[in-house]
Structure 1
Amino acid sequence: MHQIVNRKPKSANIGTGGFFVCLGDVLATIIAFIFAGWMVDKLSGLDFNSSLISDFSYISPFERYYLYTGISIACLGYFLIHGHYTHRIPWWNQVRHIAIAAGFSLIVEGFASSVLDIRTTTPLIALNWALCFIAFIFFRLSVFRLRRNSKRWQLPTVIIGDSSTTSDILYAFNADTSTGYDVHTVFLRDLHDTDPHQIDDLPSRYKNLKIEHDLENYEDYIIHNPNNYYVVVLDTFPGILRDRIVESLNKANALYSVVPTISRMSVYEMEPRYFFGYDVMLLQARTSLSHPVSQLGKRSIDFVCSAIGLIAFSPLILMIAISLKLEGNKDSIFYAGERVGQNGKLFKCWKFRTMSPNCDHLLHEYLNKNPEAKKHWEKYLKLPNDPRVTSRTRRILRKSSLDEVPQLWNVLTGTMSLVGPRPILPNEIELYGATINDYTKVKPGITGLWQVSGRNSMSFQRRIYWDSWYVRNWSLWGDIVIILRTIPAVLMRDDGH
């Protein structure tokens, strides 16, 4: 992973977009307050035996108006301090801040209401701030969607670096369009690559990107194009060349960020340390996954959620089993494939059977007859139309990822986790190289970063990169983000083959 260190120039800020984001937040707090009060009013008129509901008749919602207003203003101040109204903050960082603000506000209002003897109840406060969280998200998504194609929102961006780091940057920008970085040109400088003029791994959005190779003129380009925002991989320019490019950027008064090459490090929550009077910055790493409390928390969530999931999905599992049998499936409806797990131990990974036993010859025949399909298989180790999947129900299971529902049993028994690298076959270990050490540190997951980042439209090497990144930068919040991103990915059948 590569961390972008911004100079934060004023003209790179989001401008009037920040006003609309702030306006949306204000509307969110007002609407949540009114709607929560309306729901309480309706519930108080119902005849329930529950003491929780009967307490609603005691509430005077508008007694908490001043306290709620003060806490809401504090929330807006928190967002302002974290740059939500001024800077281009990545989307999931915004969501994290919103969740923290809403959760902390709930606690503060509950405590203050008790101290000040305000007539309210915990359910009302919890409902109000839950609605507030949802409203914050809704209004921000609306603002970003409306302004996505606005010239004022988009920031013309040029990347200068090596092909590998540039590819990582483009994937990061592609995954978070709310930041508005509009990359139109790339200057490539590769000191070690055999072909320095190509980027083999690009998101589809950037397939027609302008790539410059004339590195002798990049300084003139900066001087004559000062209105661009430059993202520079300084490690690409050793010694005096590095000083020259920084001098060119400063001379043109151009806006820029620098990307230190810090691959293979746990950088997601690195904290910068500065030394007054010196051009020295330390990035202090933090590791979370190895902490016993983190492991206990992750396992507890896995156990509870998988148990609930198996109960909830049991009718669906029965329906799928009946459907497979009606199609003439004489084999077991479940398939236990051997996969590589934590610490390199092999385990049985359960799935619905979507292929007939001993059908690999169908794949070999298909690949021999279809050269394009063979190229696709060699790059992705997947096929959009696998010849081994022979029935309608099986194709639906593969396309919708429902064939993986039985893996909840693996999660319950502790051989898998809800979130983690997808389990790999034993013969795929050598493809991971040294990165296999990261993979085997954790339990494989039902869903993971690869699942929600393009999945089968990405090369296997990109999958390895994301598996390694997840392990090195694990956090509970990261797992929550992946689970939230999994829902739309599955519903939209995002490359599920």
Structure 2
Amino acid sequence: MTLLGRNFIVSMMLALSDFVSFIASIYFALGILSIFVGPQQYDLLDPALGQWIVLHWLLALCCIAWFSMRLRHYFYRKTFWFELKEILRTLLIFSIIEIAVVAFATWPFPRYLWGGTWLFAMILVPFSRMLTKYILDKCNLWQRDTWIIGSGSNAHEAYKAISSERNLGLNIVGFIYTDVGTLPGDTIENIKVEAVDKNWLLTKNKKTQFIVAVESFQGEIRNAWLRNFMIKGYRYVSVIPTLRGMPLDSTDMSFIFSHEVMIFRVQQNLAKWSSRVLKRVFDIIGALAIIVILSPALLYISLKVRKDGGPSIYGHERIGKDGKPFKCLKFRSMVVNSKEVLEKVLATDPEAKAEWDATFKLKNDPRITQIGQFLRRTSLDELPQLFNVLRGEMSLVGPRPIITAELERYNEEVDYYLLSKPGMTGLWQVSGRSDVDYETRVYLDAWYVKNWSMWNDIAILFKTISVVLRKDGAY
């Protein structure tokens, strides 16, 4: 099968799955409401109901057209959470358009049928999109062979980022040597670096994906490759510039007409009053809901921990927003005399001391009790921090809480850390937790603050559920 044929099948399958799930949402809602309210309430022969169904079908076609022509979902590869945000935002807008038309036309049909239909649409459309991509991947239709133009640190970073996002469907097949970094014949992440001549590009299909990821000082090499791609008609070309350290989320991009100057308008979302209020309201509602739902578990764990005669909850001093110290609450997972035990271990075990100095953690910590091991592996020991959230000392999502001694290890990134409240969960927790080296932890905490958005918080919370269930990096 030609690459053009594969791309056509992929686009049609994605569009068809969206359309089917969009339409299926009507009949899912009708079926569920018929069970609870009664089938006599929803007669498909009712003219008003029939008119609304026709409208929904028309909006389904408009929505597919929007996904295709405006958002380019069926042609461009996007990351999972970015694409999901665009899907849900689009469905929300179309749902408002539909209810406005219904209200203007004064069609008499139950409004909760409208609500149920769009609720199912917001579940079915993303789910069917994921399922379709999974099927396409199993049929070897989703993955697109991709060449990275570059052999330095930026190319390596690009590879790691792309490989972490399977939703992109980009299969890196090789790196092109650009006079820096890894030499031709060697490998980056077990993928060969090749030196090519000017005729190499002519051997590649016009639908092949190329990513230009050269170093910041290699502007001439970048421009030469881009010129070559444009002259020869290659369409699937992306550029990954060296922007490490720069805030990217909510960044507006524009250019000055007739000049090769790109302007990035960066924002610090947490500096906005409205953002802080939204985050605080989200924290309070979320913390209260979790406390109510898990109150039996909280009581049971508390009684279980107290069996050895010690307190069930302890507070360890951590550094909060603006450098203010607070008592970070946890279920006690260690023996009562944990301080003495730690001092003895560090004094007698050089390997343990080296591990402690590097990470402020011990993988095989002798202080941890039997119930404590379970609490730590399941992250249940952190549930009392919900009360820190209610008191405004922590947030549901944020940088990891650290002790005073760790501040100096953040170096220049410490200013970012102090801009936000520590979180019960965060990027560190969903990126390997204790298996991640300290430098990466600092980078992730700074990235979170620089790129904060409410959507990122929601994404991290959903990722946290998966991480906790798999017990990744927990000890």
Per the TM superposition, whether the score is higher than 0.5 is yes
Q: 1:159 aligns with which of 148, 158, 166?
A: 148
Contact 2:143 / 2:171 at 8 angstroms: preserved in 1?
Answer: yes
Aligned pair in 2 of structure 1 residues 207, 354: CA closer, same or farther (>3 Å)? farther
Q: 1:334 aligns with which of 287, 293, 313?
A: 313
Q: Give the structure 1 partner of residue 365 of structure 2.
A: 386
Number of residue pairs aligned between Structure 1 and Structure 2: 461
**CA offsets, 1:294-332, max 9 Å, x none?**
111111111122122222222111111222234xx2211
Is 1:27 paired with 2:20? yes
Q: 1:423 aligns with which of 396, 401, 418?
A: 401
Q: Give the structure 1 partner of residue 58 of structure 2.
A: 70
Moved more, 12-21 or 283-292: 12-21
**CA offsets, 1:142-177, max 9 Å, x none?**
112222355442222233447543444234223320
**CA offsets, 1:352-384, max 9 Å, x none?**
11112213136536853xx5x777666655454
d(CA) in 1 for partners of 2:344 and 2:258?
A: 68
Aligned pair in 2 of structure 1 residues 386, 168: CA closer, same or farther (>3 Å)? farther
Q: Give the structure 2 partner of residue 147 of structure 1.
A: 136
User: Once the 2 structures are TM-superposed, how far is the Cα of residue 45 of structure 1 from its aligned partner?
Assistant: 2.6
d(CA) in 1 for partners of 2:438 and 2:192?
A: 24
1:36-75 paired onto structure 2 within 5 Å: 36-45=29-38, 61-75=49-63
User: Once the 2 structures are TM-superposed, how far is the Cα of residue 250 of structure 1 from its aligned partner?
Assistant: 5.5
Aligned pair in 2 of structure 1 residues 180, 317: CA closer, same or farther (>3 Å)? same
d(CA) in 2 for partners of 1:118 and 1:219?
A: 67
Secondary structure of the equivalent of 2:172? strand
Aligned pair in 2 of structure 1 residues 432, 146: CA closer, same or farther (>3 Å)? same
Q: 2:305 aligns with which of 324, 338, 342?
A: 324
Q: 2:343 aligns with which of 333, 336, 361?
A: 361
Secondary structure of the equivalent of 1:424? coil
d(CA) in 1 for partners of 2:408 and 2:302?
A: 36
1:93-492 paired onto structure 2 within 5 Å: 93-161=82-150, 164-186=153-175, 196-197=181-182, 208-210=189-191, 212=193, 217-219=195-197, 223=201, 226-227=204-205, 229-238=209-218, 240-246=220-226, 255-326=236-307, 329-356=308-335, 357-358=338-339, 359-361=341-343, 363-364=345-346, 368=350, 371=351, 381-391=360-370, 393-492=371-470
d(CA) in 2 for partners of 1:127 and 1:318?
A: 36
Contact 1:90 / 1:178 at 8 angstroms: preserved in 2?
Answer: yes
d(CA) in 2 for partners of 1:446 and 1:172?
A: 25
State the one-letter code of the partner of 2:172: V
Gaps of 5+ in 1: 1-9, 47-53, 199-205
User: Once the 2 structures are TM-superposed, how far is the Cα of residue 385 of structure 1 from its aligned partner?
Assistant: 3.6
Moved more, 164-173 or 219-228: 219-228
User: Once the 2 structures are TM-superposed, how far is the Cα of residue 447 of structure 1 from its aligned partner?
Assistant: 1.0
d(CA) in 1 for partners of 2:243 and 2:213?
A: 11
Note the aligned Cα RMSD (angstroms).
Answer: 3.2
Aligned pair in 2 of structure 1 residues 363, 249: CA closer, same or farther (>3 Å)? farther
State the one-letter code of the partner of 2:127: F
d(CA) in 2 for partners of 1:224 and 1:70?
A: 44
Contact 1:14 / 1:88 at 8 angstroms: preserved in 2?
Answer: no
User: Once the 2 structures are TM-superposed, how far is the Cα of residue 417 of structure 1 from its aligned partner?
Assistant: 0.5
Aligned pair in 2 of structure 1 residues 469, 256: CA closer, same or farther (>3 Å)? same
Secondary structure of the equivalent of 2:271? coil
User: Once the 2 structures are TM-superposed, how far is the Cα of residue 89 of structure 1 from its aligned partner?
Assistant: 1.6
Aligned pair in 2 of structure 1 residues 102, 250: CA closer, same or farther (>3 Å)? closer
d(CA) in 1 for partners of 2:42 and 2:314?
A: 52
User: Once the 2 structures are TM-superposed, how far is the Cα of residue 404 of structure 1 from its aligned partner?
Assistant: 0.7
Contact 1:343 / 1:441 at 8 angstroms: preserved in 2?
Answer: yes
Q: Which has the higher contact order (CA 8 A, sep 6+)?
A: 1
Secondary structure of the equivalent of 1:289? helix
Secondary structure of the equivalent of 2:35? helix
Identity of aligned residues (%): 29
d(CA) in 2 for partners of 1:281 and 1:12?
A: 36
d(CA) in 1 for partners of 2:202 and 2:43?
A: 69
State the one-letter code of the partner of 2:343: H
State the one-letter code of the partner of 2:85: R
User: Once the 2 structures are TM-superposed, how far is the Cα of residue 269 of structure 1 from its aligned partner?
Assistant: 2.3
Give the TM-score, by structure 2 length.
0.87
Give the TM-score, by structure 1 length.
0.83
d(CA) in 1 for partners of 2:22 and 2:437?
A: 43
User: Once the 2 structures are TM-superposed, how far is the Cα of residue 57 of structure 1 from its aligned partner?
Assistant: 9.7
Contact 2:154 / 2:215 at 8 angstroms: preserved in 1?
Answer: no
Secondary structure of the equivalent of 1:474? coil
Aligned pair in 2 of structure 1 residues 461, 13: CA closer, same or farther (>3 Å)? farther
State the one-letter code of the partner of 1:139: S
d(CA) in 1 for partners of 2:405 and 2:474?
A: 22
User: Once the 2 structures are TM-superposed, how far is the Cα of residue 225 of structure 1 from its aligned partner?
Assistant: 6.1
